[in-house]
Structure 1
C-alpha cells in the first residue's frame, strides 16, 4: 500500500470523513474520491501528498474551509472540489500551485474576494468559481492568463469591471459571469475574440458598445441580456455560422436588425426584445428555418409583418408585440404549425383576423391580438384552436357576434373581448357562465350567460306577433309538461321493476364515474376485457398500483391503473384531485375512476409506446429516439412542469418525475403520469413538502426543475454529467449557471 500511486474510488457510496492517514501514501499521484458521501472537513494532512497531480473530491458533502496546506501540492494539475458545502475564503496559498491547469470550486459556500495571486497560475486553462458568495472585483491579473480556456464566475456578488485583457491569449472559449453586479464596458480584446464558443453576461450592469461585436466564427451561444449595453447589431453577426442562441434583450441597442442575420442557419433562439430597434423586420429572417423562438417585442419596429415568417416551420414562440407594425396579419402564418404562443398586441395592425389562424392547432399558451385596429368579424375557424388556454382580442374594432364554434375551445381558461363592437349572444359554455363581466365590457350589445350581461330576448315584429308568440309558447309549454309527466311516470315504473335485480351490483359500481359514459356499463366492460384484472393484461407495476391495457368491444383503448392497497385512500384521492381540472397535451388525461368495495382503479388515456424508461432500455426502440425526438421529449416535459407550477388552477408539485412516469404515444408525444404523490399548493398560504417520490429524485423547485430536466436529458442522450454544456440551451425555462 505504501507504494500506491493511484486511488480511484469515485462513484461509490463511501461515507464518513476522509481518513487522515492517507497522508502516509506519499507516492500517490491521483486521489479520486468524487461522487461519494464523504462529510466533515478536508484533512489538512492531504497537503503532505506532495506527488499528487490530480485531487478530485467533487460531489460530496464536505464542509469547512479549504486547508491552506493544499498550497504545498506544487505538482498538482487538477484540483476539483465543486458541489460541496465548503465555506470561508479561497486560500491565497492556491496561488503557489504553479503547475495547476484546472481549478474547480463551483457550487460551494465560499465567500470573500478572489485572491489576486491567482494570476501566478500561468498554466491555468479552467477557472470555475460559480455559485458561491464571492464579492469584490475580478482580479485584473486573470485577464493576463494566456492559456485560459474557460472562466466561470456566475451567481456571485462580484462587482467592478471585466479584466481588460480577457482573451488576449486567443484561447478563451467559455466566459460565464452572469448574475453578478459587474459594470463598465466590454474589453476590446473580448469584442474581437474569435475563439469564443459560449458567452453569458446577462443580468449585470455592463454599459459597453457592442457595435464591433459579431466576428466570432466558433460562437454557439451568447446571452448579453439585461444590461445597459448600447450600439448597433453589426452585419458581422452573420459570421457566427454555428450560432444557436442569440439573446440581447433589455438593453439600449439601436439601429436596425441586419438582413444578414438570415444567414444564421443554425439559430434556434433570437431574442432582441426590449431595446430601441427600428426599421422593418427583414424578410430574410424567413431563411432561419431552425428558429423555434423569435422575440422582438418592445422595440420601435415599423412596416408590415413579413410573409416570409410563414417559412419558419419549427417556430414555437413568436412575440412581435409592443412595436409600430402596420398592415394586415399575413395568412402565411398558417404554415407555422408548431406555434404554441403568438403575441402581436400593441401594434397598428388593421384589416381582419385571418381565417388561417384557425389552422394553428398547436397554439396553447396564448393568442394575443389586442390593442390593434383590427376590424371585421371574428372568424369561426378560431373555434378549432381546441388546445388554446388564453385568447385576447380586446381593444380592436371587431364587429358581429362571438362565433358559436367557441364552444369547442375546451381548454380555454382566459378570454378578453372587451373594447370592440361585438353584439349578439355569448356562446353558452361553462367558462363563460363563470366569466367576469370585464372580459366583455365596452361592446355594442352583447347578451347571454355571462353574469352582468342582459339576457338575450327573441325580437318580434309587432305587438300582434308578441301576443301570438306568447300564446304559442303557452301551448307548447303545456304540451311539453304533459309529455314530461307521462314520461316521468313511465320511467319511474320501469326503474322500480329493475331496481331489485341490480341493487347488489349497483352498490359496488355506482361510485364509478367516466365522463361521457355510463359508469356501470363501462365498469363491467373493463372487468370483462381484463379477465378480472389478470396478469395477461398487465403492462406495468409500481409501488402503489398495476397498469392494465384495456380494449373495449368498441375498439377504444384505455390504460387502467388498479390500486394495490385498499386502505391507501390518500394517494388515490390525491391523484384524482390533481388531474380532475388539468387540461394539457403533455399531462396524462384522466377519463374516470372507480371507488368501490371490491377495488379502486383509474382510467387513463392509453399511450402506445409506454414509458420513456422502457423505450431507452429496448435496443430497437432506443434507436428510434433520434436527436430531434429526444429534444422534443425534453421540451414536452418542460412545458408540462411549467404548466403545473404556473398556469393551472393552483400550483401542483408532482414530486415523482422519473423516466418511468414519462409516457410516449405513437408520435412520440409526451405525457406525464402518476400523480399519486402530487401536492396541490395553496397560493394564499405557506406550503411545506416533505421528501417524497422515487429514490434519487426530489420535489422540483426552480433549481430542482433544471436538475430533473438535465437528468432526463442525460438519460436520453447517454452522456456523462461532465458534458452537461450540451443541454444548457434549455435553461431559458429556469435560469441556472452556464
Structure 2
C-alpha cells in the first residue's frame, strides 16, 4: 500500500532533524519557565540557559537523541511557580528534581502529562493547594516526594494507581482526612513518610502486604485504631516512627519479630499490654521508645539480649517491679529513661556504668543511693528525683566529672551535702530541694563555674550561700524553707560580718559597732554626694548609629526620651515581655513607637557595678555597634541610669538554637539543609570577628544559647564581646563566662591563642546541630567532652587523659546524629560528613594543627567531595584525623 504524497517525508528528513525540532520545543518551554521566575537570583542561577540546545544547560541532561531526560535543580533557591512550566513539552523526561527551592503556588494538573516520569522531587518548597488527581496518570513513578510544603486537603485515591512507587513522602504538610484504601495497592513501597500532617482514621490495612516496607514514619498525626496486622509479619522493617497519634492495641500481640529493625518509636499513643521475652530477638535495634502509653508488667530481663540498644525510653507507663540487672549487658546503651512509672527496689548502678543519661524520676525506688553511682563515669544527666531514697548523698557523685544535670529532689536524703560535688566543673543544673539535708553548703561549691540553675529549697540548710553567679542570681524560691541561709541573693538576709566566738568580746562589740556604724554612715553620705554629683554630669549614656532606627545625638536630652520609650515599650520590664535570661541579664521584647521590635537586655545590678571605666566601656560599645555582618546580631546601643542599665539589640524571631533543638516540633523543622546553613553562618560570624575586626574580637561564650535563628533559619551570633566588657579585670581568664570544660587543650583564651580558642568554642554551637540528645553537642553525645582537658584526638587515642572512656570509633555516624529527622540525603549528606570532619580537626591536641576560623569558613563553602561509601556505612573512625597527635 502506498501513502499519498502528502504523507511522504522530504528527501532530507532524518531522525536528527526530528531530534533538533524536539530540542527547540523543549528549549522554548524551559526558557519560558525561566522567564517566569521572580527574582534576579533565579535568573543568575540559570544564566547558562541561553540558545536553543538545552543539553549543556545547568541541571539538564539529555538522552542520545538530544531530548531532555533529567531535570535536576535542587538546593538552588529558585523562586517562582510551576504555572508556566509546559509539562507536555517533555515526552522523554524521567527525573524532575526541584528539591529545596522557593517554589510556591499549586502543583498544576498538567503534571500528569509527563507520563514517562520515574522520579519526582518537589519537597522542601512552599507549594500550596491540593495534590492533583492527575498524579495518578504517572504510572511509571518510583519516587514521589512532596514533603515539607504547605499542601492541604486529602490524599487523592488516584495515588493508589502508582503501583511502581518505592518511595512516597508526604510529611510536613497540612494534609488531612483518612488515607484512601487504594493505598493498599502500593505493594512495592520501601519508604512511606506521613509525619506531621493532620491525618485521621486508620493506617492502611495492607501496608506491608508486599513485604518490602523498610522505613515507615507517621509522627504527629491523629491516626487511631489498631496497628495493621500486615505490620506484624513485616520482617523487612528497619525504621518505624508512629509517635504522637492515638493508636491502640496490645504491644505484645500486634508486633512480630523484626530481625532488621533498627529504630522504633511508638511513644504518645494508647498502646497497652506487657513487654515480653520476644524483644530479645531484636539484635539490630538501637532505639526503643515506648513512652507515654499504658504498658504494664515488668521490664523483661530478656531485653538485655538486644545487644544493639543505645536508647531505651519506657517513661510514663505503668511498669512495676525492679530494673533488671541484665540491662548491664547492653554495652552500647547510653540513654536509659524510665521516669514516671511504678518501679521499685534498688538501682543496679554497677551494671550501668556506660550510661550518659539516666532518668529514673517519679518511681518508687528506695534505699540508699549506692556508692557505685561513682562508677558511671560517662554520665551527663542523672535524675533520681521524686523517689524514696534515704541516707546521705554519696560523695562518689563527685567522681562524675562530665555531669551536667543533677536532680536528687523530692527524696528523703539527709546529712550534709558532700564537698566533692564541688569538683563537678561542668555541672549546669543542680536540684537538691525537698529533702532533709542539713549543715552548711560546702565552700567547694565556689568552683561550680558552669552552674546556671540551682534549687536547694525545703531542706534544713544554714549559713552562707556560695558567692557564685548561680546562687547570687537565683530567685528566693530556690532557698526558701531552710534553717537560716544568708548571702547576697534575692530576699536572703545578709550574713553577719563578725562571729561571736567569746563572751568577753561582747563589750568590745557593743563599743565598736556604734563607732563603726557612724563612720560607715559618714562615708556613705560622702559617697552618695559624690556619686550624685558625677551622675548629674553624666546621667545617661546611649550609643547608636546615626542612620539606625535608634539614632540620636550622643549624651543629649533625646536620650532620656529614648530611655522613657524603652521603659514604656517593655511596660517597665514587665514579665509579659520576657524573652529569656542570659548570663548578664534578663532579655525583654520591646516595640518602639516606630513599630520596630528590639530586644532589650536589662543588666543584673551586679554587672552594672562592674562598669568601672565608663570611657573605655563607651569606646568599646562604639566598636561593637560598628560591627555589621549578616550572621551577627546588631547591637544598637547601651543606656544607663541610676535605676538600671540595658543593652539594645536587634530582635531575632525564632530564638536560640538551643531552644529550637530542645523542642521536638522545632527540631523537626530544622532539616539537615537548614542545620548546615546554621553551621556556615556561625563559622562566617566567628571568622569575621577573628580576622576582619581590628582588634580581633573573641566571643568567649559561644554556645547554642548564643546562636539565634531568624524566620528564614539564618544563624545570628549574639553576646559577642559582652563578657569582656562586663568583666573588665578579666584579661587573664582562668574561669570565664559560659560552659566550663570546652577550653582548647594547650590554648590560652587571650593573646595569640585567641583564634584557636574561639575555634574550639565553635564546637559548642553548630555541632549541637547534629546532636543526638539536644541541646548537647555531638562531642557530648559521643561521651567526648573530656577532650577539653586531655590530649586531643587521633585515631585510636582517647579524648581525655583523665577519663577511661574512649570514642567508639566503629560507631556509625548515622546512629549518633539526631534521630528525630530523616537521615541526610543527596548533597546534604556530604555536608554533614564534612562538618564532622572539621569538628574533629578542631579537637586536635596541638593548637597549631587546628584550622583557623577563616579556614573553617572557607572549607564550609568549598565544593564537598563525594562520599567514599554510602552515608549509612560511614563510621566515626572514617572522619577522624589521619595522624596520631599526642601532647
Is 1:122 the counterpart of 2:163 in the alignment?
yes
* Corresponding residue of 1:583: 738
Question: Normalising to structure 1: TM-score of the pair?
Answer: 0.68
Residues 251-297 of structure 1, C-alpha deviations (whole Å, 9 max, x = no match): 22111111111122222211111111111111111111212211111
With over 3 angstroms needed to count, the CA separation of the structure-2 counterparts of 1:583 and 1:376, relative to structure 1, is same
The residue number in structure 2 matching 1:517 is: none
CA deviation after TM superposition for structure 1 residue 221, in Å: 1.0
Q: What is the alpha-carbon root mean square deviation over aligned residues? A: 5.2
Aligned positions of 1:567-646 closer than 5 A: 575-577=720-722, 582-585=737-740, 603=754, 606=757, 624=795, 628=808
User: Counterparts in 2 of 1:256-655, with a 5 A limit?
Assistant: 256-312=298-354, 315-364=355-404, 366-429=405-468, 431-450=470-489, 451-453=491-493, 455-456=495-496, 463-464=503-504, 466-467=506-507, 542-546=687-691, 561=696, 575-577=720-722, 582-585=737-740, 603=754, 606=757, 624=795, 628=808
Aligned partner of 1:15 in structure 2 is 46
User: How many Å apart are 1:668 and its aligned residue?
Assistant: 10
Is the 1:561–1:602 contact (alpha carbons within 8 Å) kept by the matching residues of 2? no
What SS class does the counterpart of residue 229 from structure 1 fall into? strand
Deviation at 1:591, TM superposition (A): 8.0
**Could you say what secondary structure the match of 1:118 adopts?**
helix
**Cα deviation, residue 402, structure 1:** 1.4
2:440 & 2:817 partners in 1: Cα distance? Answer: 38
Q: How far does residue 303 in structure 1 lie from its aligned partner after superposition? A: 0.8
**Contact 1:216–1:240 (CA under 8 A) maintained in structure 2:** yes
Q: Does 1:255 align with 2:433?
A: no
The residue aligned with 1:495 is none
- Paired with 1:280 and 1:214, the residues of 2 have a C-alpha distance of 26
3-state SS of 1:143 partner: helix
The offset of 1:302, in angstroms, is 0.9
* Contact 2:756–2:852 (Cα < 8 Å) also in 1: no
Is the 8 Å Cα contact of residues 309 and 332 (structure 1) preserved in structure 2?
no
CA distance in 2 between partners of 1:454 and 1:261 (Å): 55
Shift of 1:117: 2.0
Q: Distance in 1 between matches of 2:264 and 2:857?
A: 36
1:454/1:100 Cα in 2 relative to 1: closer, same or farther (>3 Å)? closer
CA distance in 2, matches of 1:244, 1:636: 10
Q: Please name the residue that 1:217 is paired with.
A: 259
Match of 2:842 among 656, 664, 668: 664
The residue that corresponds to 2:138 in the other structure is 97
The 2-side partners of 1:577 and 1:355 are apart by: 37
Aligned partners of 1:22 and 1:46 also within 8 Å: no
SS at match of 2:208: coil
Which of the residues 84, 97, 103 maps onto 1:56? 97
1:678-711 C-alpha deviation (Å, 9 max, x unpaired): xxxxxxxxxxxxxxx97999xxxxxxxxxxxxx9
Q: Please report the TM-score for the alignment, with normalisation by the length of structure 2.
A: 0.57
Distance 2:846 2:303 in 1: 33
Shift of 1:82: 2.1
Number of equivalenced pairs: 589
SS of residue in 2 equivalent to 1:47:
helix
Q: Does structure 2 retain, via aligned residues, the 8 Å contact 1:214–1:240?
A: no
Distance in 1 between the 2:285 and 2:51 partners? 49
Tell me the SS of whatever aligns to 1:70. Answer: helix
Q: Report the CA distance shift for 1:428/1:135 in structure 2 as closer, same or farther (over 3 A).
A: closer
Match of 2:219 in 1: 178
* Offset of residue 176 of structure 1: 0.9
Q: Structure 2 CA distance, aligned partners of 1:142 and 1:573?
A: 49
**Residue 107 and residue 455 in structure 1: after superposition, are their counterparts in 2 closer, same or farther (change >3 A)?**
closer
Report the equivalent of 1:86. Answer: 127
Query: CA separation in 2, counterparts of 1:637 and 1:169?
Result: 31
The 3-state SS of whatever aligns with 2:372 is: helix
- Residues 23-73 of structure 1, C-alpha deviations (whole Å, 9 max, x = no match): 999973622222245443334532343333333333333333323233233
CA change 1:243–1:12 in 2 (3 A) is: farther
The 2-side partners of 1:541 and 1:162 are apart by 48
Within-5 A mapping of 1:57-72: 57-72=98-113
Alpha-carbon shift at residue 659 of structure 1 (Å): 8.8
Q: Say if 1:86 and 1:108, in contact at 8 Å, map to a contact too.
A: yes
State the alpha-carbon separation in 2 of the partners of residues 360 and 27 from structure 1: 67
CA distance 1:667–1:442, shift in 2 (3 Å): farther
Moved more, 146-155 or 425-434: 425-434
Deviations 1:209-258 (A, max 9, x none): 22232511101111111222222223222211111111111122111111
| Aligned residue number for residue 689 of structure 1 | none
Q: Give, in whole Å, the separation in 1 of the partners of 2:117 and 2:497.
A: 87
- For residues 106-163 of structure 1, what are the alpha-carbon distances to aligned partners after superposition, in whole Å with 9 as ceiling and x for unaligned? 2222222111122222222111112222111111221332211111111222111101
Answer yes or no: is the 8 Å Cα contact 2:220–2:244 preserved in 1: yes
Determine helix, strand or coil for the equivalent of 1:412. Answer: coil
CA distance in 1, matches of 2:246, 2:859: 39
- Counterpart-to-counterpart distance in 1, 2:154 and 2:176: 5
Deviation at 1:440, TM superposition (A): 2.6
Judge conservation of contact 1:17–1:39 (CA < 8 Å) in 2. Answer: no
Query: Equivalents in 2 of 1:173, 1:298: separation in Å?
Result: 32
Flag the structure with higher strand content. 1
Unaligned runs of 5+ in 2: 1-15, 31-41, 56-61, 521-612, 618-684, 699-715, 727-735, 764-791, 798-806, 819-834, 876-887
1:507-560 CA deviation, whole Å, 9 max, x = no partner? Answer: x9x959xxxxxxxxxxxxxxxxxxxxxxxxxxx994454399xxxxxxxxxxx9
